[in-house]
Chains A and B, each alone.
Chain A
Amino acid sequence: MSEGALIVQSDKTLLLEVDHPDAAEARKAIAPFAELERSPEHIHTYRLTPLGLWNARAAGHDAEQVVSALLDHSRYAVPHALLVDVAETMARYGRLRLDKHPTHGLVLSSVDRPVFEEVLRSKKIAGMIGERVDAAVPDAVGAVVVHPSQRGNLKQALLKLGWPAEDWAGYVDGEAHPIALDQGDWELRAYQQQAADAFWEGGSGVVVLPCGAGKTLVGAAAMAHAQATTLILVTNTVSARQWKHELVRRTSLTEDEIGEYSGARKEIRPVTIATYQVLTMRRKGAYPHLDLLDARDWGLIVYDEVHLLPAPIFRMTADLQARRRIGLTATLVREDGREGDVFSLIGPKRFDAPWKDIEAQGWIAPADCVEVRVTLPEGERLAYATAEPEERYRLASCTFAKTRVAEELVARHRGEQTLVIGQYLDQLDELGEHLGAPVIKGDTTVKERERLFEAFRSGEIELLVVSKVANFSVDLPEAAVAIQVSGSFGSRQEEAQRLGRLLRPKADRRTARFYAVVSRDTVDADFAQNRQRFLAEQGYAYRIVDADDLGSLDAAAG
């Protein structure tokens, strides 16, 4: 009986014992095909999914490698059915392929007649294919013309049918535009370089990196590979400005070469940064800004925060399959469960690094997460108990007890750059008033926001109260303490994003502190537990303290 580091469960989860001497080797062996699901301190859980296995196939791994990796590292006998299933699933990828044909254009072909016939008879793809051209593809048993505009839709439909197609049709080069990284006073980190290279080799796909790990630079490196006009899609205007700022600073691009396409400005330049919001804006049932996608012959499209990509953008993106696409994200978890669409439309996962690994390399700051539990005062408890269910979360979140705790925490961390993050505007205003700090929320003008963020970055002000507008893509490198008083119910990725605000390495290598203030015995506590799951699974352990015991905090932290 070998004593491997891996336990293969019959429900297709793989348990990796972290402290095992062979753990590192086993992790390396299974990482290409298994999705890391949870990585708490002792045992990490990976899962075998069809998407993961197809990702591995796309990266050139075959079923034999997967099976032998499982057999080599498994502590116990590997369930036979699971091995069979792995082989069968992997064999499904690439039975169909999309190629560019000199005369027929885009062609879907297969060397497996039954599969090909089955797929062609499916109602789901009936409208996407044209005439049969079996003779046109010499090695295949069957081939059919596909309209180029249906390339994405077809891939999406085939994935749903369980026969993902391999896309060999290649990409258009797009309009050339010289872009180079300007590495004078800084250097691309090893993992950023690997991520950009892995993307370029794969053609299209998603790079998964923690918040604060420098995803913008991976995007910039990808642009330097492409040397072509680029469309960058980001979540909001502030983030768009930051991208622009970073690109000007880190690449050979100048201000004039970069355009911003947002609610405020509509510039189309060789590198254009657009917000999801403006693209998905509807006027009279039509999307007036969709033309942007065809405004230039883009050579590369960058999707920032892929896990937030709105559903309409998926539909639009389906038409862009001939262009290279890179998705950047901290997590593939989508609250709407559309991971499959990301796979078929943006591409398979090309690079992934666990948070703790990057933290260990010192690229992101270590963080200490603390859950502070407050007890609702008697009166509020009564109000809570008698409230309508939909009101409960707001009542529990906005208790004045939280404001008091926030005050106390701010006082403890005086001298450190601190963010107070919340969901409800009344609460934020109240906090701003009590703490004497400026408040940034949805209706704050972009100009004012930028001014405040800049003042915060420069250390001019050290305390900001922010709403969810600051969840993403706002670069606040010096923020060292975050106090979260409320959030969007149980959103796991929001919690991760908020912690991400703190993870830029600090000048003095300080540990960042993340406080989640939670009302005990209410739905707030239930939501908090769900919110924390992603981070707990990434290895961030929450400590719990009572609001009354804040004094014991630093003693315990050591």
Chain B
Amino acid sequence: MSTTGAARSLADQLRGWPDERLAALIEARPDLGVPAPQDSAQLAARLSTRPAVVRALDSLSLLELTVLEAALHAPGSLHDVVHAAPASVDAALARLLDLALLWGTPEDLRPVSVLAEVLASPQGPPVGEVPRLLEGLSGPARALLDHLDERDADGRFESVTEPVRELLDRRLLQLREDRRHVSVPWSVRVALRGGRSTREPVDVVPRVATSEQSQRIADRAAAGAAFELVRRTELLLDHWGSHPVGVLRAGGLGVRDLRAAATLLAVEPAEAGLVVETAAAAGLLAPGSADDVDPAWLPTEAYDAWLTQPVAQRWMTLARAWLANPRLTGLIGARDEADRPVNALTPELERPWLPPARREALTELVETEGVLAAGTGLPSLLDRLRWRAPRRPAGRERAVTWAVEEAAVIGLTGLGGPATYAAALLTDGDAAAGLEPLLPAAVDHVLIQADLTAVAPGPLEQELARAIALVADVESRGGATTYRFSDASVRRAFDAGWSSVEIKEFLSSSSRTPVPQALDYLVDDVSRRFGTLRVGGAEAFLRSDDETALTALVTDPGAAGLRLRRIAPTVVVSDVPLHVLLPRLRELGHAPVVEAADGTVRIARPDVFRSRTSRRRPAGAELARRAARTSAVVAALRSGDRIAASRPAGQRAALPGDILSLLRTAAEGGDRVWIGYVDHAGSRMERVVRPLRVDGGALLADDEGEQRSFAVQRISEARLLG
């Protein structure tokens, strides 16, 4: 509790503080540093503003708040009034001084000026007098007082009833400034509570209700969830990479798309929402464009890099993103105030206070011995957090509940207990290293069976997984993966450029069991049918039953430029268009006839060329059109001139200083001025006025015979009209 003796003011005291202490203050209350204060006086002023104080109060624990309140009312007897061990009181006091909510010395504590207003509780009659005042109190009045005291809350009233009147008269209740609430004054409260400001000790942190469970089981379950998270993220983004889903106009993911994703992942929509949000927070998913028309949610390039990492690393990327994600994903699927469903990935979900709250809850969880007791565990955790910051808005407790639930899905906790590696994540350490040994080891083989399925008895190595997903369809996913081979899946591999030998080699090298004969047959069957039908593009075909003639034509050097290709003994194709091909063939001495699309022969007669008759407009019409056009232009010109003439001429000012001096000049000279200004509704107006006076940031002017006042800072432009 080092202070600089008797400082005259808070600013003075701050001036006397060492740099480290100032730095600690700014760190603890970052809002003070933005924007950087110019000097200690400004910092002191900022410390006394209401928002800054409220913000600081929100971060105080129940103990600190009680001490602070006591310091406001009874600075001299803190240790007597606060129901807590003296050491706890001292520690709390030290923190309050460090936060500069109080200043001065322990002997002469001074609250920052606005504090009394914020924490306001009337002082009340001297403590010594209270017992006397309580005596002879009527039954209803006493009951009312006890009730208010027990609730530790203000009472609301509409009209003054007899018991209230009695209490007010005896100063046992005091009317609030708003004249709608009454509160029990400080001294009365202390008297009612036996000389202390609270009945219960305030330095006892509520304990989290836990039950025992082996760390091994928690780890296993958590690692299982972590693995699932990575798997689901990959599955979903892989799917969206090839089947993009649209971005809503409001910038979110459609309800139907989310439900489809949930079906794909075989989870509840809420969990799918978490996967989607976490992927987006990790930068793996972002709006992009798949078809240059509509924006779509697509995996990012970072996703490709992410894919190449080991599972534990991938998980850590996701878990860190989740931890720092300011988005309230628990709301997804609920309905907002306007009864519209809340979509995933909408911008509205951001809550800046969420990451610290989540981190705080998890830290509590990690520091707890054992696992949260079923039923009572979560409420007790909330109690503990409430003790830590009683002034926090109550709505945030829901966020804590969600955070705890989500932690299980993310894989930080298992069956209610934190995993061993969770602590590392919270301290930004290498949680992946802790997770790694708990994850199932990658396997490098599958078991292929006679019913044309293959089972990978664990997570496959990436290369293998991609290859096998090409030749077979996934039937079931999880720790293991089941694949089924079918015509279509094998054909897909052929389409991707594999040969039947390659497929067979791949299968026999990756299967730990002999490849069943049925599968060999399947591959052969598909291979036999693959590519038996050929498709291509050509401009023209030539066919002839005379194979020799066709051979002669194809080998004729004169036909080299016709790009003839023989695709069957009697058929030749060419990619030269017919109208070029036909004369060339005739030049070469052949007598081709043209076949129509339906196979009939067209009579081949040389085309006779004609030019297209150009349409002429009558001369008179053209003249009339020109005359009309000219007159329109002239009219526009004239009108433009008139507008220009009506615009104010003369001296013009657009900068605040210039405007001010121009207005002053005009006021002195009694000149008229054109001003452009922005009104209260934000729309731009123009006016011609005669300025009368400029002072106090306002222009008083004669506007069409009526005196009006304009705020100078709203005037954007002024012109002297003379």
A327 to B449, CA, bound (A): 32
Residue of B nearest to A520 (CB): B525
Q: Which residues of A from 1 to 52 have beta carbons under 8 Å from B?
A: 1, 7-11, 13, 15, 17, 38, 40-43, 45
Show 10 A/B contacts (Cβ-Cβ < 8 Å), sorted by A.
Answer: A1-B220, A1-B440, A7-B457, A9-B479, A10-B228, A10-B266, A17-B457, A40-B453, A521-B529, A541-B450
A442 to B478, CA, bound (A): 49
- Residue B309 at the A interface, CB < 8 A? no
- Residue A542 at the B interface, CB < 8 A? yes
Quick one: given A1-B440, A521-B529, A544-B521, are A79 and B477 in contact (CB under 8 Å)? no
Q: How far is the CB of B477 from chain A (nearest CB, A)?
A: 7
Q: Which residues of A from 506 to 550 have beta carbons under 8 Å from B?
A: 520-521, 533, 536-537, 541-544
Chain A residues with CB under 8 A of B457: 7, 15, 17, 43, 75
- Residue A385 at the B interface, CB < 8 A? no
Task: Count CB-based A-B contacts (< 8 Å).
Answer: 100
B221 pairs with A542, CB closer than 8 A: no
B478 pairs with A7, CB closer than 8 A: yes
Quick one: given A7-B480, A8-B478, are A536 and B451 in contact (CB under 8 Å)? yes
Q: Which residues of B from 464 to 479 have beta carbons under 8 Å from A?
A: 476-479
B225 pairs with A80, CB closer than 8 A: yes
Residue of B nearest to A20 (CB): B457
B451 pairs with A38, CB closer than 8 A: yes
- Residue A171 at the B interface, CB < 8 A? no
Residue of A nearest to B226 (CB): A77
Chain B residues with CB under 8 A of A533: 451
- Residue A424 at the B interface, CB < 8 A? no
- Please indicate which of the listed interface residues A13, A76, A544 has the most CB atoms of chain B within 10 Å of its own CB: A76
Chain B residues with CB under 8 A of A111: none
Q: How far is the CB of A201 from chain B (nearest CB, A)?
A: 34
- Residue B127 at the A interface, CB < 8 A? no
Residue of A nearest to B453 (CB): A40
Q: How far is the CB of B510 from chain A (nearest CB, A)?
A: 14
A501 to B21, CA, bound (A): 92
Among A11, A76, A541, point to the contact of B458 (Cβ < 8 A).
Answer: A76
Among B450, B479, B480, B482, point to the contact of A536 (Cβ < 8 A).
Answer: B450
Q: Which residues of B from 550 to 566 have beta carbons under 8 Å from A?
A: none
- Residue A81 at the B interface, CB < 8 A? yes
Chain A residues with CB under 8 A of B447: 42-43
State the majority secondary structure of interface residues on B. Answer: mixed
A542 to B521, CA, bound (A): 11
A542 pairs with B440, CB closer than 8 A: no
Among A38, A521, A543, point to the contact of B453 (Cβ < 8 A).
Answer: A38
- Residue A309 at the B interface, CB < 8 A? no
Among A11, A80, A521, point to the contact of B478 (Cβ < 8 A).
Answer: A11
A11 pairs with B518, CB closer than 8 A: no
Q: Which residues of A from 225 to 264 have beta carbons under 8 Å from B?
A: none
A542 to B479, CA, bound (A): 29
Quick one: given A10-B266, A41-B513, A80-B415, are A75 and B440 in contact (CB under 8 Å)? yes
B449 pairs with A81, CB closer than 8 A: no
Among B227, B266, B516, point to the contact of A77 (Cβ < 8 A).
Answer: B227
Chain A residues with CB under 8 A of B299: none
Chain B residues with CB under 8 A of A10: 228, 266, 477-478
Binary CB contact string for chain B from 519 to 541 against chain A (1 if under 8 A, 0 otherwise): 00100010001000000000000
Chain B residues with CB under 8 A of A42: 447, 449, 455, 513
Residue of B nearest to A42 (CB): B447
Q: How far is the CB of B416 from chain A (nearest CB, A)?
A: 10
Residue of B nearest to A13 (CB): B476
Binary CB contact string for chain A from 52 to 95 against chain B (1 if under 8 A, 0 otherwise): 00000000000000000000000111111100000000000000
Chain A residues with CB under 8 A of B438: 1
A77 pairs with B267, CB closer than 8 A: no
Binary CB contact string for chain B from 121 to 139 against chain A (1 if under 8 A, 0 otherwise): 0000000000000000000
Q: How far is the CB of B26 from chain A (nearest CB, A)?
A: 44
B415 pairs with A40, CB closer than 8 A: no
A80 to B415, CA, bound (A): 8
A81 pairs with B453, CB closer than 8 A: no
Q: Which residues of B from 220 to 263 have beta carbons under 8 Å from A?
A: 220-221, 223-225, 227-228
Among B449, B450, B452, B478, point to the contact of A9 (Cβ < 8 A).
Answer: B478
Q: How far is the CB of B394 from chain A (nearest CB, A)?
A: 29
A11 to B480, CA, bound (A): 11
A356 to B453, CA, bound (A): 19
Chain A residues with CB under 8 A of B228: 10, 79
B408 pairs with A79, CB closer than 8 A: no
A398 to B408, CA, bound (A): 60
Chain A residues with CB under 8 A of B415: 80
